[in-house]
Amino acid sequence: MATIIDGKLVSNTIKENIKEEVSKIIEKYGKAPTLAVVLVGSNPASLIYVRNKIKACNKVGINSIQVILDEKVSEEEIKKEIIKLANNPDVNGILVQLPLPNEINKESIIELIPEDKDVDGLTKKNVAKLVLNEGGIIPCTPSGVVDLLKYYNIETSGKRVAIIGRSMLVGKPLSLLLTNLDATVTLCHSKTKNIEEITKNSDIIVCALGKPRFLKDNMVSKNAIIIDVGINRIEDKIVGDADFENIFDKVSYITPVPGGCGPMTVAELLNNTVKCFYIQNK
Ligand code: GUN
Q: Tell me the CA–centroid distance for residue 185 and ligand 1, in Å.
A: 23
Q: Where are the beta strands (DSSP E) in 157-231?
A: 160-164, 184-188, 204-207, 225-228
Share of the chain above pLDDT 70, in %: 100
Q: How many domains does the chain have?
A: 2
- Residue 162's DSSP bridge partners are 186, 205
State whether 257 and 145 are in the same domain: yes
Catalytic residues, which ones?
53, 97, 120
Contact 226, 216 (CB under 8 A): no
Q: Round to whole Å and give the CA distance between 151 and 36.
A: 29
**Per-residue pLDDT at 166:** 98
Last residue of a domain, one of 114, 129, 159: 114
pLDDT of residue 120 exceeding 90, the answer is yes
Contact 263, 52 (CB under 8 A): no
Share of the chain above pLDDT 90, in %: 99
Is the model's pTM score more than 0.95?
yes
Instruction: Quickly state the pLDDT bin for 227 (edges 50, 70, 90).
Output: very high
Closest CA to 95 of 34, 37, 43: 37
CB burial of residue 255 (10 Å; 0-12, 13-18, 19+): buried
Query: Could you report the per-residue pLDDT of 129-167, keeping only the tens digit for each?
Result: 999 999 999 999 999 999 999 999 999 999 999 999 999
C-alpha count within 13 angstroms, C-beta hemisphere, residue 175: 17
Range of the domain at 108: 30-114
Smallest CA separation from ligand 1 atom 2, residue = 98
Q: Give the CATH number, domain containing residue 108.
A: 3.40.50.10860
Q: Is the CB of 141 under 6 A from ligand 1?
A: yes
Query: Could you report the per-residue pLDDT of 243-259, keeping only the tens digit for each?
Result: 999 999 999 999 999 99
State whether 107 and 191 are in the same domain: no
Q: Tell me the CA–centroid distance for residue 98 and ligand 1, in Å.
A: 5
Q: Give the CATH number, domain containing residue 222.
A: 3.40.50.720
Q: Is there a domain that residue 134 lies in?
A: no
State whether 244 and 163 are in the same domain: yes
Residue 188, classed as helix, strand or coil, is strand
Instruction: Quickly state the pLDDT bin for 1 (edges 50, 70, 90).
Output: confident
